[in-house]
Structure 1
Amino acid sequence: MPRETQAEENFTLDRCPACGRMRYLNHDMEFRVSTICYHAICTVCIRNNFHQGPSKCPIMSCGKTLRTKDFKKAWFQDLGVQREVDIRRRVATVFNKVEDDFQDLDSYNAYLEDVECLTDDLVNGDDDKKKLAELKLQQWEAEHRAEIERNRRLANESEATRRKRMAAEEALAQQRRELEIQEEAEEKLQERKFREEMLDSLQQGEQGKANETVSKILLKKRGQHKKDVALDAAGAPALSIRGLVDKKRTATVLDDGPYDPFMGLDLLPTRVDVSRERLAQYDNDTLKKVKMDDAWKAGGYSAEEYLSRALFEAFAGLGVFVDEEMGERGVSTQGAAQAAATGATGGRMDID
């Protein structure tokens, strides 16, 4: 078993591959993973081997020079997954273009495919592919450093804008909840007041005052309904966020629609109608039995498919005239034979 595989297995079993200490006997034992060679060793070995400066990896088969800052806590128990995540994060910081940087979607998809191929070479490629991919990555980073920094800054600004929008939405929701609670309390107070006034008027026998109280309640409900409708239509004009994209002014994005492998090519026959309505008019005893018996349909047999294939095969050769094609072929063949016999050609050919 290779030393790297054994080291990963020991890490899975909570055993340090450098000193052999086990977590079972040392409950405060912690592991750190090197970002250079991705070997996991305990913090005691890191402190003993690298406290005075750079040193070689404690794993016998590695031999790479490491420093204390090269070790970090692993998020994944599988070190292969941890390595791939770190590589993808590094590649994403260098190739950080977005769809808006390209003229069309095809160019953006081609860019993503190239980035994924480069990432796959860094993760799963052999030594030659890894060196070539690393060289491409460093070259791209050196040539597009300013552009990478600009895209990173724009991404941070977009994230800040998203956080501001979420905070504004939460504040607006909290404001609406407080307003609803306040309106509910006022409504309960008014209902209690109107109920007391109505009871007092009924006890005193004042029919006119009771009718007036009922009219007030109805008017209040109508006014509240109109107020709710107006609020829903107007929205919340008091709260606004600067810097957001105005969707009304944004250009309409054309939707390419679903992917069509035939690129819009119509494969339906043109000499015969094979629509479902037309196929339903064809009938014979065999097809009638097939349409009425569910045992045929259970196996996937389709009478419409049979009719479509039969009609296509019947009408497929009507536009082909064999005699004319054979005549044209004979003319070309005779001309070639005559030219070969006489040596008369349209051009001169030298043979070495």
Structure 2
Amino acid sequence: MDDEEAIAANKCPVCGSDPRTHPGLRFKINTKCYHRICEGCVDRNFSSGKAECPVAGCHVALWKREWRTQTFEDLKIEREVEIRKRVNKTLDRQEDEFETKRDYDDFLELREELIMNLVFKTDVAATNRKLREYAAANGIKTDTTEAANEPTKPVKRKDVAPDAADPSGLIKGLKKISIPKAKAPYDPFMGMSRTRDYYEVTESYVARARGKPAEAMLAAGYDFGQYMDECLLRAFAGLGVFIEDEMATKNNTAVPVPGTGELKAADDVF
């Protein structure tokens, strides 16, 4: 490359600035049309919002955030890397998601074919349509979505099984989705019956307020007194405390007092 070609390569196609006349001049590119303009032209043309690319003959609409610093010297490599990142982000599948190793290899070949179509501009419209349909069917939000701020609504095809891992039908050989069985809610009583004879559901209850006359009220679920009785029964029913048995045991352990004929309970050494 001679000096004139080097100067032309470092010259902004919009304002004509170059590093010789503007020391510290920096260029930016975008990932749609891949035109390279200076940072000043980006600020002037896109500070107010979305606008067309200022390069003559280009009518691609862009945002200011879509312009970034160039990474590779060759713009062809830059473009291919961006395409690969976009496609890989959409078709992000791992080997363990496929039935066999052959199915995974077929997927890698399909992904590479779609990438090359975009790189060499072959069937671009059909390739982008396949990627959009796949992203929409699988609920993937991509940068190419028209409404970027709105969630992508999954679109399922009617000719695909409901348990298919890819509703769009683009990727073959994926394992079917196994829907786990719903677990029963936790039962702290382990199946024990929670209905008791003393708990009755009626149309109305009588309020049992202390110090106040009984007042009738419509049933709103259950009576508080019955609920309290049920709670006490649940708390103490399993303790096995029986007063009568305790009294009988106490009488059996009593010993007579000498000279009086009275019974006296034996001292508990424990």
Report the TM-score when normalising by structure 2: 0.48
Question: Which structure's residues are more often strand, by fraction?
Answer: 2
Question: Which structure's residues are more often helix, by fraction?
Answer: 1
